[in-house]
Structure 1
Amino acid sequence: MEILPGDLQTYLDNHCDTEPEALQFINRETHLKVLKPNMLSGHYQGRVLSMISKMMQPKRILEIGTFTGYATICLAEGLTEDGIIHTIEVNGEMEEMLNQHFSLTTVEKKIKLHFGAAEHILPTLSTEVFDIVFIDADKKNNLLYFELILDKVRSGGIIIIDNVLWKGKVYGPEKDADTESFRKLNDSITVDTRVEKLILPVRDGILIIRKK
């Protein structure tokens, strides 16, 4: 779902760095072979994630929700030489595709793939301190994931939550459960004094949170 008008989004796509060849392939494969390909971050949002990561130069990244690995690779582009991204995917059937996709890149060895529910995987990462966290998984648990990982993020670290404008429904009249879940998330973080925050109207909205 794109919040911005199509002609503006096309202009933005045409005025950022070119989508790397491996990501072009993953983009095509996702649209050909995977249900709900619109869950893919895509070219422009991918370059946004890559830019944030390169600005932060993180040593440790956590991603909750790998999908087909597009955003994983974008985030990994900014890792330090010895950096690692831990990425958690609940669907074990994605393993073969993900391994293929990661093998196309120069960051394959920096990616640690975990399968299972995030709330079960996170305790196994208890010794890690993260510079960046990207949350893009089952939407009803966004606030839970935020609370679970906040103490694992260093001061000055960044948390990014995807889809927070939820097809524009969060500022409309809709009352369905998913929309209300996003309203609760956005409202809760807005008043959270432990963090600084803003929503960027990138694709379906990304919430950028900086831990104080």
Structure 2
Amino acid sequence: MHFIPDALDDYVAAHSEKEPQLLQQLTRETYQKILQPRMLSGHYQGRILSMLSKLIQPKTILEIGTYTGYSALCLCEGLKKDGLLHTIDINEELEDFQRSYFDKSPYGRNIKQHIGNAIEIIPKLTTKFDLVFIDADKPNYVNYFNLIIDKMNSGGIILSDNVLWSGKVIEKLQPNDESTKALIEYNKLLAEDPRIETVLLPIRDGLTISRLN
């Protein structure tokens, strides 16, 4: 979902940092072989994730929703040399695909994959995180937030993707639309929780930056 005209959106992407060759290859193979390739973060958002990670310079990252590994590789670009990124995905069929690209990158040893239900996995993680990226099933966003908030280091950053949900968050809510309902609740939570300060950016399908006070 683009919230500015396509021509202007193309200009923005063209005047941003170029997409690394490995990520170009990952994009092509995702579109060739994997269902729902639009779930990929893509060039422009990927460069935003990379830039934010480089500014934060995290030692520990948690990603909820790996898909084919594109965003994980972008986030690793700012990871400290001895840092670790934990990434969780429920689809075990993508594990080998993800790992093949992780190992082609300079960050293979810095990425730990977890396959299964994030609601069950997160409580078992003993790490405190500097950066968290939430990009998974929307009805569980509030649950993910509640699970990770006490696992954040002071000043830690939570990035939340798809928070505008193609603009549905301001439209009349349909009775069976669980994802939109959940995102409306989640956005309200982020705006009102006194433990964090939040800015919602109209980038692609909406990206929220929340900083732990």
Equivalences, count: 211
TM-aligned CA deviation for residue 173 of structure 1: 2.1
Mapping for residues 151-166 of structure 1, pairs under 5 Å: 151-166=150-165
Matched, 1:78 2:78: yes
- TM-score, structure 1 normalization: 0.97
Structure 2: 5+ residue runs without aligned partners? none
The runs of 4+ residues in structure 1 deviating greater than 3 Å are: none
Question: In the alignment, which residue of structure 2 is the partner of 1:136?
Answer: 135
Amino acid at match of 2:23: L
* 2:201 corresponds to: 200
Matching residue of 1:102: 102
SS at match of 2:87: strand
Q: 2 CA distance for matches of 1:2 and 1:106?
A: 32
- Aligned counterparts of 1:190 and 1:84: Cα–Cα separation in 2: 29
**Deviations, residues 79-119 of structure 1 (Å, cap 9, x unaligned):** 11100000001111111111111122111111111111111
Report deviation, 1:7: 1.3
Structure 1 equivalent of residue 168 of structure 2: 169
CA drift of 1:172 comes to 1.8
How big is each residue's C-alpha offset from its partner over 1:133-157, in whole Å with a ceiling of 9 and x where there is no partner? 0000111000100010000011111
Alignment partners' CA distance in 2, 1:174 and 1:29: 36
Q: Give the 5 Å matches for 1:1-212.
A: 1-126=1-126, 128-175=127-174, 176-212=177-213
Percent identity over the alignment? Answer: 50
Structure 2 CA distance for aligned equivalents of residues 18 and 207 of structure 1:
23
TM-score by length of 2: 0.96
User: In 2 relative to 1, CA 151–89 (structure 1 residues): closer, same or farther, beyond 3 Å?
Assistant: same
**CA distance in structure 2 between the aligned counterparts of 1:54 and 1:104, rounded to whole angstroms:** 21
- How much is the aligned-residue C-alpha RMSD, in angstroms? 1.0
Structure 1 residue runs of 5 or longer lacking an equivalent are none
